[in-house]
Amino acid sequence: MGRGTDAPFLRPCKNVLKFTLGKVLRNISVYLVINFMHNWNGKRLPLISMNGDTLRNQFLIDLLKFKGNEAKDNIPQDIQEVLNRL
């Protein structure tokens, strides 16, 4: 992505950051950007929790559910089933 490009999926991130923080942050959490991109439906962006515990829990769940998770074989089957339902 070049300097002059403004990818459509980044626009909601910038708008939310301008609105909630009063200024655009240059160094935002990668996980928040992933959350914005995942939750954006093209019309509206649901609120994303800024609670650290909630974000850490969601991040851990996303890591465990990731298809490329190298440790997936070490996760018990019943836990994998619960993760698949989340």
12, 45 in Cβ contact below 8 A? Answer: yes
pLDDT in tens, the chain (86 residues): 444 455 565 566 665 555 555 444 554 566 677 777 777 788 887 777 777 788 788 888 877 887 787 777 888 888 888 887 87
The model carries a pTM of 0.45
How far is Cα 37 from Cα 46, in angstroms, rounded to an integer? 11
Neighbours of 37 (CB within 10 A): 14
